[in-house]
Amino acid sequence: MERPPQPPTSASASAKVELSGAKIIWECLEREGVDVVFGYPGGTILPTYDAMVDANVRHVLARHEQGATHMADGYSRASGRTGVVIATSGPGATNLVTGLATAMMDSVPLVAITGQVSGPLLGTDAFQEVDVTGVTIPITKHNYLVRDPRDIAPALREAFALARSGRPGPVLVDITKDAQTRTALFDWEAAAPRRHLRHVPPPVPEELLARAVAMIQSSRRPLILAGHGITLSGANRALVEFAERAGIPVAATLLGLDAFPPGHPLFLGFMGMHGSPWTNLAIQEADLLIALGMRFDDRVTGDPATFAPHARKIHVEIDATEVGKNIPVDLALLGDLKAVLDRLVPRTPVLETGPWLETLDGMKALFDSPQWPRVRKGEGMSPVDVLRELQTQAPGSVMVSDVGQHQMWEAQVMRHQRPRTLITSGGLGTMGFALPAAIGAKIACPDAEVWVVAGDGGIQMNSQELMTLTQEGLKIDIAVLNNFNLGMVRQWQTHFYQDRRSASTLTISPDFPMLARAYGLRGALARTPEEAAEAIREARASATSTLIEFQVDPEASVYPLIPPGARIQDMIHEPPS
């Protein structure tokens, strides 16, 4: 949960004191409860970095601004608090773009503070000037250009309120250099946000709740679709109560996999393009879908015209723009998910879903669920076996996965026992996300065991942050599944481009264990299941972070695979002959 704003620090509670804009920034951050920021200094943000010397806030010096943004993102996802990233103007600011878009797509509360050239230079193409507010309009909830030190505190207070209210997301505050160096009267109380205090709809009307109850009561094959909004709203316990009371099975999106206990008898597992086949078929057989905090994205629905053809649909969602955007629904309940469930659960009837659950058990048996997922058996170690070993040895860890085949295998194999223990880039699919995000997650949860799961392609996109990991003295272990390919690209070329492989083979990669040692980590190499098990044991026993290169089958593919835009029932279960 967001830590509430803190009591005043260096400036007294009620006093109105004259401060530089740079000092006002730190006063605001401390009063918002911020105790760590991630960033990279540069010319136009130097006044703020100078004032940081007197601030009571930890600064994590990343090696690249993109990495700093992902660190703030991972910190937020793991803690539920608002992440903060700081960068300079020009390339420093544009290097935040991928991280901001990642946070925007996955509804992560984040405040980015960027330096800007001084006011008189704006619009002159001055050194390192870029219109970052123009650049980031589509990938932030809101942004500000601040040219007057008197506007810094109101802008920052409103930025934090916006980032964490309603559907969370990133907000950028761009502050000119002269606004940081000039002084203004700092008045915390007067700077309180008066707009955008709540971005949530009014309470759901009773008649809509009654309609939802009637639809549930008349259902014989209901199914809950659980998304990221469950954890964002803190509705995990309410979801369990809802499912158990009515006896409704639960399917999860990628970001919803840690929203519901994985060992619960009502949990069906992962749905969508690489979801379990019985979960996807359950969607097609259901007569009622109750979508909770998810947005029916294309990776879930496949061909929207053929998605869940027999089901009426109830959508509980805080963001009205998501309702009906991809899939028409029969009933929308707009509001904070936990607030809606808290009112809906006591009204929910007990359903006789025994026959439906027996049908689902039959589907699981049909696909031999204990042995699922399968991969093509080729040369080398199976990546699924590596992840099964990791699941056996390190259950309950915070898993931070990158993007690609390994991300899907991680989602299929690992069991995320608690909320906020699966951190991954879902909507944007950002390669290079995992390592820096894991640094943020470890700082948020210092007592947790944290693992990175990445491929040989993604780990090289932000591998410079290995130095940040060592610099901060963190213990994070890294599993690199090296298949010598951009595996998902290679798999799509195999299935959809007649196996014409173009630019998908990584013929040359660094010596990963040696690279790890160069950055001050332990390095290990595993080529067999026995070596993999031993490497994981040694990594967990070591006080030093370890990067393990697991050399795995280059031809292994993720199944099932629903071709893009195809019907769910067109799932592919094996390679083309």
In the prediction, which pLDDT does 370 show? 67
Burial of 53 (0-12, 13-18, 19+ CB in 10 A): exposed
Q: How far is CA 362 from the centre of its chain?
A: 33
Chunk the chain into consecutive blocks of 10 residues (it has 577) and report each block's average pLDDT, rounded to whole numbers: 47 75 98 98 98 97 98 98 98 98 98 98 96 98 97 97 94 98 96 71 93 97 98 97 97 97 95 94 97 95 94 96 95 96 95 95 82 71 95 97 96 95 97 98 98 97 98 98 94 92 91 98 97 98 98 93 90 81
In the prediction, which pLDDT does 8 show? 47
Give tens-digit pLDDT for 262-282: 999 999 999 999 999 999 999
End-to-end CA distance of the chain: 51
Give tens-digit pLDDT for 278-319: 999 999 999 999 999 999 999 999 999 999 999 999 999 999
In the prediction, which pLDDT does 277 show? 92
In the prediction, which pLDDT does 2 show? 44
In the prediction, which pLDDT does 7 show? 47
Task: Starting at the earlier edge strand, list the strands of the sheet with 312-317.
Answer: 267-270, 250-252, 222-226, 288-292, 312-317, 331-334
- C-alpha 441/C-alpha 423 separation (Å) is 8
Element (H, E) at 306: none
Burial of 391 (0-12, 13-18, 19+ CB in 10 A): middle
Helix 529-541 vs helix 383-393: angle between axes, to the nearest 10 degrees? 40
Which residues are annotated as catalytic?
Answer: 65, 127-128, 177, 488
In the prediction, which pLDDT does 372 show? 73
In the prediction, which pLDDT does 252 show? 98
The Cα-based distances of 188 to 24, 104, 195, 379 in angstroms read: 9, 28, 16, 64
Strand 250-252 to 267-270 pairing: parallel
Q: How far is CA 128 from the centre of its chain?
A: 31
Strand 183-186 to 17-20 pairing: antiparallel
